């Protein structure tokens, strides 16, 4: 895989609430475009278990040019998925994208997955995501410091 430019994002793809945790992450291997010299797209899906016991699937797709620079980024979210349907949703996404890529390019789509279902602390989740090495995750507080006088 090429070295990719992880430019600073203007907006977060998603925000986790205090009681939200990652359920899993799955990323495609790079998909090469037939009509653009050495350009490629990587499909990344973040599955988030929300504090209200529903799930969100956040799809972050990036296109990289031949030099590894991110030239497009798109984000889509599907919210309110009940726990009873989350595994079916994940499999349906994988199958639909794999079929579409194979039909359009003749190439089989391969996925790398990180299961975080048994990890309960955000610190350990972030450590495992960094060790996974396929995505960059930044953790920041959105609560400004409070000064008490």
Residue-wise pLDDT tens digits, 127-143: 999 999 888 777 665 44
Domain ranges in the chain are 21-132
CA distances from 68 to 30, 35, 47 (A): 11, 17, 26
Residue-wise pLDDT tens digits, 97-126: 999 888 877 788 899 999 999 998 888 988
Instruction: Identify whether the C-beta of residue 94 lies closer than 8 Å to the C-beta of residue 74.
Output: no
Given pLDDT bands bounded at 50, 70 and 90, which one contains residue 28? very high
Specify the pLDDT at position 132.
93
3-class SS of residue 68: coil
Q: Under 8 Å CB-to-CB from 30, ≥6 apart: which residues? A: 1, 2, 40, 41, 42, 64
């Amino acid at each position: 895989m090429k070295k990719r430019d992880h430019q600073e994002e203007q907006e977060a793809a998603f925000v986790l609430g205090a009681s939200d945790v990652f359920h899993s992450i799955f990323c495609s291997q790079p998909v090469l475009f037939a009509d653009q010299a050495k350009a490629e797209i990587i499909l990344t899906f973040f599955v988030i278990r929300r504090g209200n016991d529903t799930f969100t699937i956040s799809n972050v797709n990036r296109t990289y040019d031949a030099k590894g620079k991110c030239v497009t980024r798109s984000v889509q979210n599907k919210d309110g998925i009940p726990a009873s349907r989350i595994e079916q949703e994940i499999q349906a996404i994988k199958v639909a994208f794999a079929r579409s890529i194979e039909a359009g390019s003749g190439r089989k789509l391969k996925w790398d997955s990180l299961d975080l279902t048994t990890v309960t602390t955000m610190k350990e989740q972030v450590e495992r995501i960094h060790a996974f090495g396929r995505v960059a995750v930044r953790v920041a507080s959105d609560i400004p410091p409070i000064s008490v006088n």
